[in-house]
Structure 1
Amino acid sequence: MSDEGGGERKSYHHGNLRAALVDATLELITEKGPTGFTLAEAARHAGVSAAAPYRHFKGREELIEEVALIGFDMFADLLEHAFTKGPTGSPLEAFYRVGRAYLAFARRYPGHYIAMFESGVSIAGNSELTHVSNRAMAVLTRAAEALMEHIPIAKRPPAIMVSHHIWALSHGIVELFARGTPGGRAPFSPDELLESGTGIYLRGLGILKD
């Protein structure tokens, strides 16, 4: 909490101003959305002066970019762990684990997820964001490649196409069924919707056989 008289949080005096602002922004994004607060409000929420954020960030958008960057790094780590460190099993099971990890991240880290995918942050305009977002996508593409190893190369659909389609399906399920939006009353869980939708899609491509 702030010291009486508008003093800054003790964490700031310990050199944690950047982290305190990120934490405050995560709470505000989750509560109000990425455009529902100002940089001054983030500063108040962090218990620091209105001028303090400018020591690290030019404005709110740059602060949100930092939240997205941290989120993508966590996201890529989680997907990588799901793909390579999960229980032994088939490539299909590894593929499903990556999809479930996607949904789990959105549930557990809504502030990061919103900053990454719903804030309008320019990934292409930030080299660090481009790198970490590509790292996350690469995990899903590798999972798709492993899933299609049994198919002759000439007959395989592009792995990057498969990974982008599954990414889009996962994001749609998060938006409609995982965060209490109007579609959230589906009779199936988000994980069940993703797994069944993925199965239908893969069968349509001939990657899975009945």
Structure 2
Amino acid sequence: MTPSIKTEKSSYHHGNLKVALVDAADAILREKGVEGFSLREAARRAGVSIGAPAHHFGSAKGLLTEVALLGYESLGSYLNAVATSDDPAKDLRDLARAYVAFAMAHPGRFRLMFRPDLVDREDPRYRQVSAKALTGFATAISRREGGGADPMADLFVVWSSIHGMANLVLDGKTPYLFGGADQVAFAQDILPRLLEQAWPFGRPA
């Protein structure tokens, strides 16, 4: 009796194959980071031919864009979980801590999301989900008393400040700057104090 041979087509429905490839790419980023990603490895983990990723996503950038979209959705979930209070400065600090927490929990996704060489920023879905993720910051900024005349400029300062902090944490700089504090110690003990001291999280505008 001739043994049955599972083909790529019989193993997956069209949608399931795409999901399997996205999951495989996401897992590679989680384990090896952006630099460890390859289409060949994604195909191997998904159990499909080397040509399958290009067939379904067009290129490595197409596949990685799907992972970046997941990243922004995850970031949005972290930020949306922050409760709104009567103090917008406190809300900004809490949002900042959630932003760093996301980066620490999902460093592969976080790094990928801001790599224009690896993701398609012209994808309408990317534009929509990336803008939506920052809604909480924009809302808190708009509620601050004595806020600046240019909300977009304020948002840029807030985002660039906390994004820089998140990258320094992932780059392992905290032990050198804060007496050997690792990522967890920094996030739990040091970051809240920094946010209290640094504009625009704690000081008056």
TM-score, normalised to structure 1's length?
0.76
Q: Is the 8 A contact 1:75 1:105 kept in 2?
A: yes
Q: Deviations over 1:99-138 (max 9, x none)?
A: 1111121122223212202463456422211111111223
Q: Is the 8 A contact 1:21 1:46 kept in 2?
A: yes
C-alpha separation in 2, matches of 1:203 and 1:127:
31
C-alpha spacing 1:201/1:39, structure 2 compared with 1 (3 Å): same
C-alpha separation in 2, matches of 1:46 and 1:66:
15
Alignment match of 1:93 (pick from 90, 94, 97)? 90
Unpaired stretches in structure 2, ≥5 consecutive residues: none
Over the matched positions of the two proteins, sequence identity in percent amounts to 31
Q: Which amino acid aligns with 2:59?
A: G
Q: Is the 8 A contact 1:7 1:47 kept in 2?
A: no
Whether 2:105 is the aligned partner of 1:115: answer: no
Q: Is the 8 A contact 1:72 1:133 kept in 2?
A: yes
C-alpha separation in 2, matches of 1:90 and 1:204:
10
C-alpha spacing 1:9/1:94, structure 2 compared with 1 (3 Å): farther
CA RMSD for the aligned pairs?
Answer: 3.1
C-alpha separation in 2, matches of 1:81 and 1:141:
15
TM-score, normalised to structure 2's length?
0.77
C-alpha spacing 1:33/1:6, structure 2 compared with 1 (3 Å): farther
C-alpha separation in 1, matches of 2:67 and 2:157:
25
Secondary structure at the aligned position of 1:202 is classed as: coil
Q: Is the 8 A contact 1:106 1:113 kept in 2?
A: yes
C-alpha separation in 1, matches of 2:125 and 2:25:
19
C-alpha spacing 1:128/1:204, structure 2 compared with 1 (3 Å): same
C-alpha separation in 2, matches of 1:9 and 1:81:
40
Residue 172 (structure 1) aligns with: 164
Mapping of residues 119-130 of structure 1, within 5 Å: 120-122=117-119, 124-130=121-127
C-alpha spacing 1:65/1:131, structure 2 compared with 1 (3 Å): same
Residue 202 (structure 1) aligns with: 200
C-alpha separation in 1, matches of 2:189 and 2:195:
10
Unpaired stretches in structure 1, ≥5 consecutive residues: none
C-alpha separation in 1, matches of 2:52 and 2:140:
44
C-alpha spacing 1:169/1:114, structure 2 compared with 1 (3 Å): same
Residue 173 (structure 2) aligns with: 183
C-alpha separation in 2, matches of 1:203 and 1:71:
25
Compute the displacement of 1:37 (Å). 3.0
* Structure with higher RCO (Cα < 8 A, 6+ apart): 2
C-alpha spacing 1:73/1:16, structure 2 compared with 1 (3 Å): same
